[in-house]
Amino acid sequence: MDKKDKSDYKLFIRFDDMSQGELAAFNRILMEIYRLRGLDFRQYRPKCLRRRIVTRLHAHSVKSFAKYIEILHNDPQELDRLLGVMTINVSEFFRNPETFEKVRLRILPEILEIKKRPSSHLIRIWSAGCATGEEPYSIASIFHTVLFKGFKLRVLATDIDEDALAVARKGCYHRKELSGLNEKQQHRIFNKIEEDRLTVKPLFRDLVEFRRHNMISDPAPRLMDLVFCRNVVIYFKKELQRKVYENIHRSLNPGGFLVAGKVEAMLGVAEDLFEIYDLNERIYRKRN
């Protein structure tokens, strides 16, 4: 959005059950986020945005968006808390383990087959919307075996949220956050630094590059063999989902793979761009 467009924000999003005053206040909150942080939430699903912002109203026991704007103005930390709920970066290691198993057993060998030409020994994987790092580190931990076969590996992990990226870069997690992993997996991926804190082993951490990237407005990275984009586009309106899938299509090499989220219906939005590889696990392949 250009700076000059800012006035469009005033009533860009409408809800039938809101008064004009509340509607204006709601839109002003979005405008403030854009003014202060340059993040444009207009293309996100309105109901989803509203639900999230309302959680902050509840946290302060206020009932109106207008009152909440006062809090935003008076409490310098509130904007970060609000952005925290608007971008929710919930994730976990090996989220949907059966998907990772399919990637390990089926996609990894397919990629090695494509990459065995001496000119293309570098495998590139993009974790788009990587939140606090669990997804890219899981990817690195299953793909690092390719290093012993003479391949190189880079995992690019991007997110719009700097705070989430800061956590991700540290690669340090509380044992409670790893409850989905058994002892053996924990031992394989982490070093123990304190009784309850574990840190990702350098072997895996060094394979991942974290970078801030907005999937809506920044150019997509190129030459990817595999893209994970899970539980991100679900928050976008249909037109925007299409644009994001076009970008992912552009970022993939011929024959490249996309792993979408279990809840995401890519078909209907971009089936001309991708063919089904495994519908159960939402794995698709780039159409050329």
In the complex, the residues that contact ligand SAM under the rule CB under 6 A are 87-91, 95, 129-131, 135, 159-161, 164, 214-216, 230-232, 261
**Which of residues 63 and 212 has its CB atom nearest to ligand SAM in the complex?**
212
Closest CA to 197 of 172, 179, 180: 172
**Closest distance between ligand SAM and the C-beta of residue 149, in Å?**
27
- Rounded to 5 degrees, what are φ and ψ at 118? -55, -30
**Closest distance between ligand SAM and the C-beta of residue 230, in Å?**
4
**Closest distance between ligand SAM and the C-beta of residue 213, in Å?**
6
**Which of residues 214 and 280 has its CB atom nearest to ligand SAM in the complex?**
214
Alpha helix ranges (H) inside the chain? 20-37, 46-59, 65-74, 78-86, 97-102, 108-115, 134-143, 162-170, 183-189, 202-205, 238-251
**Which of residues 91 and 251 has its CB atom nearest to ligand SAM in the complex?**
91
Q: Which of helix, strand or coil describes residue 124?
A: strand
Could you give the CA distance from residue 110 to residue 62 in angstroms, rounded to a whole number? 54
**Closest distance between ligand SAM and the C-beta of residue 79, in Å?**
15
Could you give the CA distance from residue 204 to residue 97 in angstroms, rounded to a whole number? 18
**Which of residues 44 and 277 has its CB atom nearest to ligand SAM in the complex?**
44
**Which of residues 16 and 90 has its CB atom nearest to ligand SAM in the complex?**
90
**Closest distance between ligand SAM and the C-beta of residue 236, in Å?**
8
**Which of residues 25 and 39 has its CB atom nearest to ligand SAM in the complex?**
39
Locate 166 and state its tokens: 């800061």
**Closest distance between ligand SAM and the C-beta of residue 131, in Å?**
3
What is the signed CA dihedral for 112, 107, 285, 165, rounded to 10 degrees?
-100
Q: Which of helix, strand or coil describes residue 91?
A: coil
Positive or negative torsion for Cα 271, 273, 279, 281: negative
**Closest distance between ligand SAM and the C-beta of residue 91, in Å?**
3
Query: What residues have CB less than 8 Å from 61, skipping those under 6 apart?
Result: none
Q: Specify which residues 276 forms β-bridges with.
A: 284
**Which of residues 160 and 269 has its CB atom nearest to ligand SAM in the complex?**
160
DSSP 129-143: S-TTTHHHHHHHHHH
The arrangement of strands across the sheet holding 190-192 comes to 172-174, 197-200, 190-192
**Closest distance between ligand SAM and the C-beta of residue 129, in Å?**
3
**Which of residues 87 and 251 has its CB atom nearest to ligand SAM in the complex?**
87
